[in-house]
């Protein structure tokens, strides 16, 4: 079995280390499984901090999903996954580098949302899944969600006060996008 190597998905937001609260919803339908992950995230502000947003990621043809815990002081690397490119974990320097790089490239350099360039889990599935499917990882503060799906699309809302789940009823979608990785 091969190891799993992840690379950051290109999204303009970053999963929040304090309000991530990653929630997985996965259900069977007559056509294909419906799967969404909802989380707290933020976009980079002018002052180098992030604002608060509710992000919903919908995965197409997600037949496999799993969740697990990890320490809130560690990321998915503690599970044995490698993230490429690797960023040094020097807090003061990291935050400055992150804000500078985010502005340069127009998306978060490490949003906590990844796609596997190499996946032990995907390699262990039938040929049907190895052709057109990808292994995605959503890394929250205390745990993670992994999915095997064809692609994803996301939507975001400003989340000012109250319950994150109420954000869609308090304002319009303020950003959306899609990707196959």
Give residue 88's pLDDT: 61
Q: Among candidates 42, 54, 41, which has minimal Cα distance to 164?
A: 54
pLDDT in tens, 9-45: 999 999 988 777 889 999 887 777 889 999 999 999 9
* Tokens describing residue 154: 């996301």
Q: What is the pTM of this model?
A: 0.91
Kind plus residue range of the DSSP H or E element containing 8: strand 5-8
- 19, 165 in Cβ contact below 8 A? no
CB 40 within 8 A of CB 79: no
pLDDT digits (tens, 9 = 90+) for 97-146: 889 999 999 999 999 999 999 999 999 999 998 889 999 999 988 889 99
Interatomic CA distance for residues 134 and 52, integer angstroms: 28
For 38-73, letters b (16+ CB in 10 Å) and e give: bbbbbbbeeeeebebbbbbbbbbebbbbebeebeee
Q: Are 145 and 79 in contact (CB under 8 A)?
A: no
Q: How far apart are CA 55 and CA 45, in angstroms?
A: 17
Q: What digits encode the pLDDT tens for the residues 83-95?
A: 988 766 555 677 8
Q: Taking Cα atoms as reference points, which of 44, 60, 84, 86 lies closest to residue 147?
A: 60
Q: What gap in Å lies between CA 151 and CA 109, rounded to an integer?
A: 20
């Amino acid at each position: 079995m091969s190891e799993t190597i992840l690379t950051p998905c290109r999204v303009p937001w970053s999963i929040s280390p304090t309000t991530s609260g990653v929630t997985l919803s996965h259900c069977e339908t007559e056509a294909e499984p419906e799967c969404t992950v909802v989380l707290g995230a933020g976009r980079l502000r002018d002052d180098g901090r992030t604002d608060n947003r509710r992000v919903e990621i919908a995965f197409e043809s997600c037949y496999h999903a799993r969740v697990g815990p990890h320490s809130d002081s560690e990321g998915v690397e503690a599970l044995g996954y490698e993230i490429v490119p690797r960023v040094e974990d020097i807090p003061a320097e990291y935050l400055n580098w992150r804000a500078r790089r985010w502005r340069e490239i127009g998306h978060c350099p490490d949003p906590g949302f990844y796609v596997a360039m190499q996946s032990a889990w995907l390699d262990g599935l039938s040929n049907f899944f190895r052709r057109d499917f990808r292994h995605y990882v959503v890394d929250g503060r205390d745990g993670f969600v992994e999915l095997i799906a064809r692609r994803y699309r996301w939507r975001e809302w400003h989340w000012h006060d109250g319950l994150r789940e109420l954000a869609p009823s308090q304002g319009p979608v303020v950003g959306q996008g899609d990707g196959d990785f």
